[in-house]
Amino acid sequence: MDRQDPLGPAPDAATIESIARATIDRLPPAFAQHLGAIVLLVEEFADDETLAALGIEHPLDLTGLYSGLPVGQKAGSEAVAMPDRIHLYRRAILEEWVETGVRLDDLVAHVTIHEIGHHFGLSDADMHALEDSVAD
């Protein structure tokens, strides 16, 4: 007889993306209007090159990453060179979810807003205020 996991299967990338997009949809209009060109990627782990560049040794230590130039630093050709990206790392998010007991939708929203905060060049305090503004 197989023993079934009482929590069920781990949420897949589509589930993580759906939560992240719902979070983005709840952002105040002043933020949402600047997010249209951002690419949202849900990946299993950060690649070795990314981890090395950030000085992170273990892939489970990075739940998300913003790649691009913050809104206030965009100028001319830099703005069209490459789309800004928000990377969410599914396995690291799930590991934190299991370790902390935080609701998955709250955790994904937290990571998503943190990375959006980097897009806008926000301080940690501003990111927390933005997170509070979209809480269910």
pLDDT tens digits for range 49-107: 999 999 999 999 999 998 876 666 555 544 456 778 899 999 999 999 999 989 999 99
pLDDT tens digits for range 10-58: 899 999 999 999 998 888 888 777 777 788 999 999 999 999 999 999 9
Going along the chain from its start, the domains and CATH numbers come out as 13-69+78-134 (3.30.2010.20)
Using alpha carbons, select from 55, 51, 68, 46 the residue that is nearest to residue 119.
68
What tokens does 18 get? 């759906």
pTM over cut 0.75: yes
For residues 113 and 111, give the distance between their C-alpha atoms in angstroms, rounded to a whole number: 6
